[in-house]
Amino acid sequence: MAELLLPAEDGTIERYRLSGKLPDIARRRASDFPRIAFAAAHVVADAFADNDPWIDPAIDWERTLAFRHSLWDLGLGVAEAMDTAQRGMGLGWPQAQELIRRALKEAEGRDDALIACGAGTDHLVPAAGLTLDDIIRAYEGQVEMVEGAGGRIILMASRALAAIAQSPADYEKVYGRILSQVKEPVIIHWLGEMFDPALEGYWGQPNHEAAMDICLDILAAHADKVDGIKISLLSKEKEISMRRRLPKGVRMYTGDDFNYAELIAGDEQGHSDALLGIFDAIAPAASGALAALGRGSENEFFDILEPTVALSRHIFKAPTRFYKTGVVFMAWLNGLQEHFRMVGGQESARSLKHLATLFRLADKANVLRDPDLAATRMARLMALHGVI
């Protein structure tokens, strides 16, 4: 197996020898799985565009769309234009619209492409004088765009709403208005403040337990317009508590990148479906584990997926909002793109030591598709930074 030099935890340089197994990459369909499973997909930057990466994002559309096909080939759905695609951290609404249109067009050419698209208010800049009606119109505009392109809605949390809401009633007004108008049931996304500090106090309450009560009231009032809710709070206890209180017919989509294996497996009182950023980075393992669960082999499900949890916890460690760097780094290591560059210059958001640890954990999790290629690319990155 390949060897290379990596920075160690104590600051020295050590020789690391890869020991992981190759992931099982098999073509599957969503119908092979007993759970609905979306991977929130990243975008591939155009590394050769003549632009200012922090200001003017440039996207490699060919590689970005090819990556979506790779997820569909594994049976996973695509959660499009979400925070994993750097929505609000490099990807603006103009680029998100083009991404949504292009991805939906690609999906039309397949009979097995599960896709849902993020609609929010990120084109609206929080400012003095902003009103709830402004937020409602912003949501309406994005929902109209996605539905007009033939897409299904993931209703994203709103920074603008979090900034101006005075009470839970303001959330009830905004969500009630939007849900009363959508054409098809939506997935509501409750993104915790660990993913986006601007969303602290969402639903108009200072703690998650009280916020959950407000959110559940909104879901119950509009259950016919809600397919499910994705919560990203990194707490299995909170997710299970909410899952057990959901209105009949409303799904829980886990967004817990720390505890997804046991939440998807579920318990005697229910389970979570999945809408996860980590599934972008570990797609073959996610696919293989879900197929095993579909065959009734829970032991195999955990054997495949449990080793990936340590990797995911590292990628999503605080500051959690920088997890996108690890997701794109994994795509580069696995040969799914030819460079490690990101829109917004976000490749610089994690340290060299963080990336070295990520590499070791990816090897141990058996998610490196071509270990020799991954080692070659990792060694090239180390050399660039003076590790020889």
List, for residues 332-364, the tens digit of each pLDDT value. Answer: 999 999 999 999 999 999 999 999 999 999 999
Distance CA(182)–CA(143), nearest Å, equals 8
Q: What percent of the chain has pLDDT over 70?
A: 99
pLDDT for position 388: 67
Task: Name residues whose C-beta falls within 8 Å of residue 172's C-beta, 6 or more positions apart in sequence.
Answer: 214, 217, 218, 221
Mean of the pLDDT values across residues 195-213?
96
Q: Pick from 350, 342, 343, 299: which is nearest to 321 by CA? A: 350
List, for residues 237-289, the tens digit of each pLDDT value. Answer: 999 999 999 999 999 999 999 999 999 999 999 999 999 999 999 999 999 99
Domains and CATH numbers, the chain: 25-350 (3.20.20.70)
pLDDT for position 221: 98
Three-class secondary structure of residue 293 per DSSP:
helix
- Amino acid found at 22: L
Distance CA(361)–CA(356), nearest Å, equals 9
Give the pLDDT band of residue 127 (cuts 50, 70, 90): confident
Task: Name residues whose C-beta falls within 8 Å of residue 1's C-beta, 6 or more positions apart in sequence.
Answer: 17, 18, 19, 371
List, for residues 131-187, the tens digit of each pLDDT value. Answer: 999 999 999 999 999 999 999 999 999 999 999 999 999 999 999 999 999 999 999
Residue 126 has pLDDT above 80, yes or no: no
Residue 10 has pLDDT above 90, yes or no: no
Distance CA(301)–CA(291), nearest Å, equals 8
Task: Name residues whose C-beta falls within 8 Å of residue 323's C-beta, 6 or more positions apart in sequence.
Answer: 257, 277, 315, 316
Element (H, E) at 244: none
pLDDT for position 69: 98
Sign of CA dihedral 284, 288, 293, 298: negative
Mean of the pLDDT values across residues 85-111?
96
Supply the pTM of this predicted model: 0.96
Mean of the pLDDT values across residues 202-209?
96
Residue 26 has pLDDT above 70, yes or no: yes
Residue 40 has pLDDT above 80, yes or no: yes
CB contact at 8 A, 307 and 288: no
Mean of the pLDDT values across residues 28-52?
96
Element (H, E) at 227: strand 226-232
